[in-house]
Amino acid sequence: MNPQPLLRLLSLLLFVAFSPVSDCFADKSKEELEERITANLTRLAERQQDLRWAIPAEVIAQAKGIVILHSVKAGFIVGAEVGNGIAIVRKADGTWGAPAFVALVNRSFGLQAGADESVTILCLMTEQSLKVIHHGANVEVGIDLEAAAGPLGAGGEITSTTVQKPVLVYTSEKGAFAGASIEAGALIGDKKKNETVYGEKMDAILFSGQAQPTPAGLRLIEALNGFAGQAAR
């Protein structure tokens, strides 16, 4: 018997049970959700401020999409996690589109032994990797898509082998940036939040190119362009 469907269902049930932590099913105002986008920008900016642990400019410049997640470990079942965050992808012209709200349904991804929470950033480097944020694709990072710990340092160089990895993973452990623990992780769109801010579902926001970024979304886009610097695309 294949245990994967049962494990995925269990992870989803845990996700619902931990809604006070992940807050994915609570009604929020548009203003509160703007603050969520800003909070995720802050998480990314804090990492980029430490040049030893920053995501290299060229990784950000070449990424097709980026996901920023804040996740919390469910202590009563080993390896279970819940969390939420945002995803953003490039439009057809190469510029960043509006960020969408996502939720994490996960068994063991990003968290190190003994850590209760972490910030995980996924750099989606290939067109194929964007499937992880397509509704209904049922794609898990670390199972259906190969993932690797990303190179570190603001001036870090990436090779052709690096950019061929579908997903580069960066994670923190209680604020202390550490190597990625990669096993399996699935993302779903946070329907309520996306419809509150945009009146659209996740796929329409990320892939139609028509969704208009909010002020917080525009600040995120500006920051990503700044973090990419002058790296060649």
187's CB contacts (< 8 A; 6+ apart) are 67, 87, 102, 103, 104, 105, 132, 133, 141
* pLDDT tens column, 40-56: 999 999 999 988 888 99
CA–CA distance, 78 with 6 (Å, rounded to integer): 15
- The H helix count followed by the E strand count for the chain is 8, 8
Q: Report the DSSP beta bridge partners of residue 97.
A: none
CB contact at 8 A, 40 and 122: no
The confidence score (pLDDT) of residue 62 equals 92
Under-70 pLDDT residues of the chain? 1-27, 72-82, 105-116, 135-147, 153-164, 173-185, 230-233
CA 130 to chain centre: 11
pTM tops 0.75, yes or no? yes
* pLDDT tens column, 139-165: 666 556 666 777 776 555 566 566 668
The confidence score (pLDDT) of residue 181 equals 46
The confidence score (pLDDT) of residue 231 equals 47
Closest CA to 122 of 95, 149, 101, 97: 149
The confidence score (pLDDT) of residue 7 equals 46
One-letter amino acid at 111 equals L
The DSSP element (H or E) to which 48 belongs, if any, is helix 30-49
